Amino acid sequence: MFADAAILLVGDEILQGVVMDANIPSISHELARRGLRTAAAAVAPDEAGSIARSLASLRSPGRLIVVSGGLGPTEDDLTPGSIAEALGLEYVENRAALRMIEEKYAGRESGCPASALRQARMPYGARPVGNPAGIAPGMVLDIPGTRECIVMLPGVPREVEALISPCLDEAGASGDGPSESRCLRVWGIPENALMDIIESEGLACGAALSYLPKYGQVELVFKGPAAPAAFDAVRSRLAGSVFSETRGEPIELVLGRALARSGTMLATAESCTGGMLGGRITSVPGSSEWFAGGVVCYSNDMKIRVLGVRPSTIDAFGAVSAETASEMAAGVMALSGASAALAVTGVAGPGGGTESRPVGTVWIAAVTGGAEQVREFRLGGTRAVIRESAATRAMGMLLGMLGGPSG
């Protein structure tokens, strides 16, 4: 059992603003689930001395430190070697890690490149953990003569998500803090509005809540003894917007189950989302069983020629309108023979907005079982956020029409 935890991110790209960090939330949530409080976090550049100094600043008796980044095969991936040097440990090739890497390249015509084998080197005494989402193994190092432990992960978010749990298992990570007991994932309600509802109506019931928003979805985590009561109260109040009770479960996976369960075949017609909706839907394995296909009709001419939207509709109401969205949905259903459709048209920005249709205006049509819903959303954020949020709302609308996650 550890006293608490700390997180160290390594990477010039984070400090230079080239990429936005997505790893602290996922790491800290997994730590909290195990009863470990994240007491500190830091970011270090790809420089050995900076990594060593940052590590030293985070060390504390009984602490677990999770380090993310710098485990790759290139010259600027310095994390394991820097940690070995900082702790006075040999930097050695680990045979188990070497086998893990070689197995990743087994059967490839090009074989295993020499640069990949660099990822088998680690501080003496570190234990490798196989990476199901990449090449570089995770590493778990008990610091000799202390009750401290270092877990080293790659920096790629999908690899962090795949490795964090098995690495913490290997480290024996647990604490005596309040563990997360319940989770709700909600679509279509902004974080601040969700917080206002819960606080103004007293739904928290004394539980500690954390909010993790992402592209039109918010993950609510309830902690402490009052978590079950708060979970029940919020779930009842937000029933139509809750799509999952499983941490990290994407709405496209939940929608896929609902479509498969109902025997519904879906098609999509997209304008401002540019295929993003179809891309998220087909990211789910087995989606061919319930997704017929999609059409990206960005220009008005394509909407008319491919989907059969009437020119008079666009002239009278505009391309971003309820009427156009409805005809896009009808057109893609006729084209594909699907039994359900989602159509999205909007102004993603940063330009193109008007006084009546400002940037962030999105119309979505959802059709299934002979019923149709057409809704307008006014979304905020960058172009990327607006497009992702529109895709999320489209899936949420159809999920509700299918009876919800378990309907």
- Residue ending a domain, among 244, 266, 282, is 244
Q: Average pLDDT, stretch 169-184? A: 79
Query: Helix 300-307 to helix 322-336 angle, to the nearest 10 degrees?
Result: 40
pLDDT of residue 181 exceeding 70, the answer is no
Is residue 407 in a domain? no
Is residue 238 in a domain? yes
- Residue ending a domain, among 195, 226, 244, is 244
State which residues form the domain around 345: 251-401
Q: How many domains does the chain have?
A: 3
Distance between terminal CA atoms of the chain?
A: 42
Whether 154 and 16 share a structural domain? yes
Whether 203 and 55 share a structural domain? no
Sequence-ordered list of residues with C-beta below 8 angstroms from that of 174, at least 6 positions apart, any chain: 1, 2, 34, 35, 36
Whether 153 and 188 share a structural domain? no
Whether 160 and 233 share a structural domain? no
Sequence-ordered list of residues with C-beta below 8 angstroms from that of 314, at least 6 positions apart, any chain: 300, 303, 304, 324
Task: Determine the residue type at 404.
Answer: G
152: which 2 tokens?
């080293």
Q: How far apart are CA 274 and CA 263, in angstroms?
A: 26
Whether 225 and 274 share a structural domain? no
C-alpha closest to that of 386 among 60, 121, 394? 394
Whether 231 and 261 share a structural domain? no
> Quick check: helix, strand or coil at residue 30?
helix
pLDDT at 407: 63
Whether 166 and 280 share a structural domain? no
> Quick check: helix, strand or coil at residue 66?
strand
Q: Residue 345 forms beta bridges with which residues?
A: 363
Q: How far apart are CA 29 and CA 329, in angstroms?
A: 39
Q: Are 40 and 6 in contact (CB under 8 A)?
A: yes
pLDDT at 215: 85
Q: Is residue 114 exposed (0-12), middle (13-18) or buried (19+ Cβ within 10 Å)?
A: exposed
pLDDT band at 182 (very low <50, low <70, confident <90, very high): confident
pLDDT at 179: 56
CA distances from 193 to 201, 362, 369, 394 (A): 12, 19, 32, 19
Is residue 105 in a domain? yes
Q: Average pLDDT, stretch 44-71? A: 97
Q: Per residue in 293-334, pLDDT tens?
A: 999 999 999 999 999 999 999 999 999 999 999 999 999 999
pLDDT of residue 78 exceeding 90, the answer is yes
pLDDT of residue 29 exceeding 60, the answer is yes
pLDDT at 406: 77
pLDDT of residue 117 exceeding 70, the answer is yes
Whether 167 and 199 share a structural domain? no
pLDDT at 103: 94
pLDDT at 387: 97
Is residue 361 in a domain? yes
Helical segments of 120-250, H only? 157-171, 191-200, 227-237
Q: Are 124 and 84 in contact (CB under 8 A)?
A: yes
pLDDT at 177: 64
Whether 229 and 255 share a structural domain? no
| pLDDT, the chain, mean | 94
- Residue ending a domain, among 113, 146, 171, is 171
Q: Average pLDDT, stretch 75-83? A: 96
More confident residue, 353 or 406: 353
Domain harbouring 218, CATH code: 3.30.70.2860
Q: Average pLDDT, stretch 345-359? A: 95
Q: Per residue in 239-274, pLDDT tens?
A: 999 999 988 899 999 999 999 999 999 999 999 999
Task: Determine the residue type at 355.
Answer: E
pLDDT of residue 210 exceeding 80, the answer is yes
Whether 281 and 348 share a structural domain? yes
Is residue 141 in a domain? yes
Is residue 406 in a domain? no
Is residue 65 in a domain? yes
Q: How far apart are CA 348 and CA 351, in angstroms?
A: 8
Whether 147 and 41 share a structural domain? yes
Domain harbouring 382, CATH code: 3.90.950.20
pLDDT of residue 69 exceeding 70, the answer is yes
Is residue 205 in a domain? yes
User: What are the phi and psi torsion angles at 207 (to 5°)?
Assistant: -80, 155
Sequence-ordered list of residues with C-beta below 8 angstroms from that of 158, at least 6 positions apart, any chain: 133, 134
Q: How far apart are CA 292 and CA 269, in angstroms?
A: 12
pLDDT of residue 38 exceeding 80, the answer is yes
* Percentage of the chain lying above the pLDDT 70 cut: 99
Q: Which of 54-58, 175-179, 350-354 has the highest mean pLDDT?
A: 54-58
Whether 21 and 99 share a structural domain? yes
C-alpha closest to that of 84 among 117, 113, 38, 52? 52
